[in-house]
Amino acid sequence: MPVKEAPVEPAVWTVQTLVSEIRQRVEGKYADLWVAGEISNLRPAPSGHVYFTLKDRDAQLPVVLFRRQAQLLRFRAKDGDEVHVRGRVSVYESRGQLQLIAETMELRGAGALQLAFDRLKARLLAEGLFEAARKRPLPAFPKCIGLITSPSGAVLQDILRIGRRRHAALNLLIYPAAMQGVNCAGQVAAGVRWFNRNPGRVDLILIARGGGSAEDLAGFNDEALARTIAGSALPVVSAVGHETDFTIADFVADLRAPTPSAAAEIITAAQHRVEERLESLSRRARRAIRYHLLDLRQRYARLSAEQVLARLRDSVLRRDQRIDDLRFRLESASERRLRVAGQRLATLSARLHRQDLRVRLARAGLRLEAANASLARASKLIITRRETQLTHATVRLQALSPLAVLDRGYALVYSAEGVLLRNANETKLGEQIRARLAIGAVSATVTENSKP
């Protein structure tokens, strides 16, 4: 008889094991993919994570964007946004729920823009348009900047405000242009070409625009605009968007500024440093002058009347010595001229001895006498001038000398230590004092001190 086999018991899965198995299979197959849809039920959590549902007409998928990835988003997501989400499919085991763990997210259409951006960037990079060697330095002290921007935007006001504060003499020549939309690239390129056709008007070109979405900044990723900037004979500064925004115009420009305000500060940096240096030197000069005046006051206060008189006397004596020196030099020069004239006369006499010697000697004598008379007059005039100067100096010295006051009956009274007394409060009863008169000096003892 055949043996009956025992019935096989069916495998029994636990919920956790089954869900974990499904999660591993799903994550292995759908590890990296892009999903397009519309955001709904967006819920930012206090932890920084963002939860929302990605849906289209027929289905929906829960999505979680963890805090680190959420901080890197280039736009503020909201319900109704059409987006492309890149991530991996997983299963949230606690709920047995299929979900998409997002790594990055872009507004729909931004993906195509990014692809075009990357391709153009790679092509221009290969051509060397981004090389640092071809970028020119900015002029340190520009007189006029060619500004390409929207005349109605806040960017213009920011640049004007910073320019007035940091470089009041800086001029701006504005070329109005659309800063977004289909006309943006063409009008900005036209502005660059216009300034290059009028190079004497500006020293550099500044392209400035505030922040915006990828679509708003798409005009600055135009290839024709990039080549126009690269071919500019004038230095070009690109200040487009916020600090985290990068465009092709930034890479080909001679300098990329993170914001328009930062561009204005960079352009005026050298002038601002010069003004700060001048202010610092001015402060140092004022301090040095004050110190010098204080030192002179202290030195003047230490001078006594006798020291002043001694210095005046020395000054007069030096002038006398100078007059004597000039007199000696004048006499020596006169003797030297007479000696030379005599030698010339002797030579002339020897040569003309046979040719009417008497007449020529007489004429030479007349010339010698005239020269002696002229020299005597000049010597007398010089000596008279020096004596007059000495007389005037002596008169001025006597007018300034305290001794002239003493001749009129006044006296200089000194303490026992030799300090000039100006107030009766500076003396004490019984103290020895000394009085300097016009002729001589006397000593006395204070017997009465009358206070004012």
Q: How far, in Å, CA of 146 to CA of 285, rounded?
A: 38
Domain that holds residue 197: 138-267
User: Is there a contact between 175 and 146 (Cβ–Cβ < 8 Å)?
Assistant: yes
Q: Which residue has the higher pLDDT, 113 or 345?
A: 345
Q: Which helix (H) or strand (E) holds 291?
A: helix 269-302
Query: Which pLDDT belongs to residue 193?
Result: 92
Q: How far, in Å, CA of 11 to CA of 28, rounded?
A: 24
- If asked whether residues 340 and 358 sit together in one domain, one would say yes
Domain membership of residue 160 (yes or no) is yes
Q: How far, in Å, CA of 404 to CA of 434, rounded?
A: 19
Q: How far, in Å, CA of 115 to CA of 121, rounded?
A: 10
Domain membership of residue 133 (yes or no) is no
Mean pLDDT over residues 273-292, rounded? 74
Residue at which a domain ends, from 267, 287, 315: 267
Q: How far, in Å, CA of 124 to CA of 116, rounded?
A: 12
Query: Which pLDDT belongs to residue 303?
Result: 62
Residue 78 has pLDDT above 60, yes or no: yes
Residue at which a domain ends, from 238, 267, 296: 267
DSSP 217: T
Domain membership of residue 365 (yes or no) is yes
- If asked whether residues 357 and 248 sit together in one domain, one would say no
Query: Which pLDDT belongs to residue 451?
Result: 59
Q: Which residue has the higher pLDDT, 126 or 4?
A: 126
Query: Which pLDDT belongs to residue 60?
Result: 92
Q: Pick the closest to residue 222 from 122, 314, 120, 131 (CA basis).
A: 120
Burial profile 154-187: b = 16 or more Cβ within 10 angstroms, e = fewer? ebbebbeebbeebbeebebebbebebbeeebbbb
Q: CATH number of the domain that 162 lies in? A: 3.40.50.2300
Q: Which residue has the higher pLDDT, 370 or 68?
A: 68
pLDDT confidence band for 127 (50 / 70 / 90): confident
- Mean pLDDT, the chain, rounded, equals 80
Residue 270 has pLDDT above 60, yes or no: no
Query: Which pLDDT belongs to residue 132?
Result: 80
- If asked whether residues 168 and 223 sit together in one domain, one would say yes
Q: Considering just the CA atoms, what is the radius of gyration of the chain in Å? A: 51
- If asked whether residues 247 and 322 sit together in one domain, one would say no
Domain membership of residue 282 (yes or no) is no
Residue 400 has pLDDT above 70, yes or no: no
With vertex at residue 356, the alpha carbon angle to CA 352 and CA 358, rounded to the nearest 5 degrees, is 95
- If asked whether residues 233 and 344 sit together in one domain, one would say no
Three-class secondary structure of residue 384 per DSSP: helix
The dihedrals phi and psi of 60, each to the nearest 5 degrees, come to -145, 155
How many residues can be counted in the chain?
452
Residue 344 has pLDDT above 80, yes or no: yes
Mean pLDDT over residues 227-253, rounded? 84
- If asked whether residues 412 and 310 sit together in one domain, one would say no
Token look-up 């292995």 returns: 28
- If asked whether residues 211 and 147 sit together in one domain, one would say yes
- If asked whether residues 314 and 426 sit together in one domain, one would say no
Query: Which pLDDT belongs to residue 57?
Result: 83
Residue 403 has pLDDT above 70, yes or no: no
pLDDT confidence band for 65 (50 / 70 / 90): very high
Q: What is the pLDDT of residues 130-156, one digit of tens each?
A: 788 888 887 777 788 888 888 887 778
Q: What is the pLDDT of residues 295-327, one digit of tens each?
A: 777 777 666 666 667 777 777 778 877 888 888
Residue at which a domain ends, from 400, 420, 435: 400
- If asked whether residues 146 and 253 sit together in one domain, one would say yes
- Which one-letter amino acid corresponds to residue 36? A
Domain membership of residue 340 (yes or no) is yes
Out of 19-28, 85-94, 429-438, pick the least confident.
429-438
State pTM to two decimals.
0.41
DSSP 218: G
- If asked whether residues 323 and 390 sit together in one domain, one would say yes
- If asked whether residues 61 and 163 sit together in one domain, one would say no
Domain membership of residue 450 (yes or no) is no
Q: CATH number of the domain that 77 lies in? A: 2.40.50.140
Structure tokens at 272: 């601002």
Residue 3 has pLDDT above 70, yes or no: no
* Number of folded domains that form the chain: 4
- If asked whether residues 143 and 190 sit together in one domain, one would say yes
Out of 304-308, 414-418, 427-431, pick the least confident.
304-308
Q: How far, in Å, CA of 399 to CA of 418, rounded?
A: 24
Domain membership of residue 131 (yes or no) is no
Q: Pick the closest to residue 76 from 86, 87, 65 (CA basis).
A: 65
Q: Which residue has the higher pLDDT, 53 or 378?
A: 53
Query: Which pLDDT belongs to residue 419?
Result: 79
Domain membership of residue 294 (yes or no) is no
